[in-house]
């Protein structure tokens, strides 16, 4: 199979898929030799001759969850009942999809002396997984703090990995919070409740100093932006991306 790029993207092969949380699946695609991206960017995936489709069409945008040094291009998504996602789940391993990209400017700022605070809700974690895995591999000196909100631990994709990365990167801290821990079958010893100014202040000595990256459901992103602006964070220091379900 040729992996030559053209105006319509390039073909990539599905080589693995696996559940990474309740109702969330990761898809690994073979990485073309010339594919280069920066953590935080996304790709467009187009299904080729799907067995079903709907009004939303056969293409979707996905943040890249894998890090640049990893062998595959990984994306992850909630398994909503749509034609596109049903097709993704049942297509045979070895199937080909068209990929375009990378796109997007939600990448870490270049000044590594300035901390970055990453705030994720649900599947909004995908671009940040790429960032923190890459930072650990590169032994980056940049201070990274990741806040990650889910209903229960069972819903939190990459949870164990994101926690354990603290052992590989002394400049990285993880703060998980669960909004419905009482509905979990597992004990949760981390924070509880929604992300708010109090939780941010508990882990950030100077809330107005870092650069913020906020990714998640539209309601969460809007609320966090308001919280940060009320805490005197400059609007230019808040970078957001809203993940709506499809």
Residues 117-174 have pLDDT tens digits of 999 999 999 999 999 999 999 999 999 999 999 999 999 999 999 999 999 999 999 9
Decide if pLDDT at 3 tops 80.
no
The DSSP line for 127-195 is HHHHHHHHHHHHT--S-EEEEEEESSGGG-TTHHHHHHGGGT-TTEEEEEEES-GGG-SS---SEES--
Decide if pLDDT at 5 tops 90.
no
Note the pLDDT of residue 75.
98
Place of tokens 């400049």: 171
Provide the whole-model pTM: 0.94
Note the pLDDT of residue 243.
80
Domains (ranges, CATH) in the chain?
A: 10-103 (2.40.30.10), 116-242 (3.40.50.80)
Element (H, E) at 220: helix 218-230
Tell me the per-residue pLDDT of 36-85, one tens digit each, with 9 for 90 and over: 999 999 999 999 998 998 888 899 999 999 999 999 999 999 998 899 99
Mean pLDDT of the residues in the chain: 94
């Amino acid at each position: 199979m040729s992996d030559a790029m053209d105006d319509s993207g390039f073909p990539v092969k599905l080589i693995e898929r696996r559940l990474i949380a309740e109702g969330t699946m990761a898809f690994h695609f073979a990485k073309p030799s010339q594919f280069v991206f920066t953590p935080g960017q996304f790709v467009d995936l187009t299904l080729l001759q799907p067995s079903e489709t709907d009004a939303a069409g056969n293409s979707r945008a996905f943040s890249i969850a894998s890090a640049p040094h990893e062998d595959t291009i990984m994306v992850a998504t909630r398994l909503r009942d749509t034609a596109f996602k049903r097709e993704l789940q049942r297509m045979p391993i070895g199937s080909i999809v068209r990929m375009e990209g990378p796109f997007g400017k939600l990448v870490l700022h270049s000044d590594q002396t300035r901390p970055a605070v990453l705030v994720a809700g649900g599947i909004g974690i995908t671009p940040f997984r790429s960032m923190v895995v890459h930072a650990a591999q590169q032994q980056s000196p940049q201070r990274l703090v990741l806040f990650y909100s889910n209903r229960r631990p069972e819903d939190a994709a990459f949870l164990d990995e994101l926690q354990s990365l603290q052992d590989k990167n002394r400049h990285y801290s993880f703060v998980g919070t669960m909004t419905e821990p009482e509905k979990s079958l597992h004990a949760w010893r981390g924070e509880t409740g929604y992300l708010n100014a109090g939780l941010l202040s508990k882990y950030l000595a100077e809330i107005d100093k870092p650069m913020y990256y906020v990714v998640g459901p539209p309601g969460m992103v809007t609320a966090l932006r308001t919280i940060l602006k009320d805490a005197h964070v400059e609007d230019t220091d808040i970078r957001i991306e809203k993940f709506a379900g499809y």
